[in-house]
Amino acid sequence: MEANNIDIADTVSASQKLQASDAKNLLSKASKLIAMKGKKVNEFNVKNSVNQEAIDAMLGPTGNLRAPTIRVGNTYLVGFNEDVFSAEFA
């Protein structure tokens, strides 16, 4: 985050396990989700409804919310991809 001069407004301890219901709650207040796993990037429009595929994209194999999960305006970024971060925080 420091490399992109991003101010962190709120953090959640990794010991607090956020699951599918938490992911759905977060997305209910968003308009877009960008889920990244390495070079694979999926975008979901969640403005009008939140589908199970979007929720699943936010969760890791243990069923907990993947890290990092970042809210930028009305968009959630989950996971990491350097190209996406560079574009979103330019």
pLDDT at 6 over 70: no
Query: Strands 32-37 and 75-78, how do they pair?
Result: parallel
Residues 6+ away with beta carbon under 8 Å from 11: none
Cα separation, 71 vs 68, whole angstroms: 10
Tell which wins on pLDDT, 14 or 85: 85
pLDDT tens readout for residues 37-67: 989 999 999 999 999 999 999 999 999 999 8
For the segment 30-39, the average pLDDT, to the nearest whole number, is 93
30's tokens: 């968003």
Query: Residue 2: pLDDT above 90?
Result: no
Distance CA 62, CA 46 (A): 23
More confident residue, 57 or 89: 57
For residues 79 and 88, which has the higher predicted lDDT (pLDDT)? Answer: 79
Q: Can you point out the beta strands (E) in the chain?
A: 32-37, 40-45, 69-72, 75-78
* Predicted TM-score (pTM) of this structure: 0.85
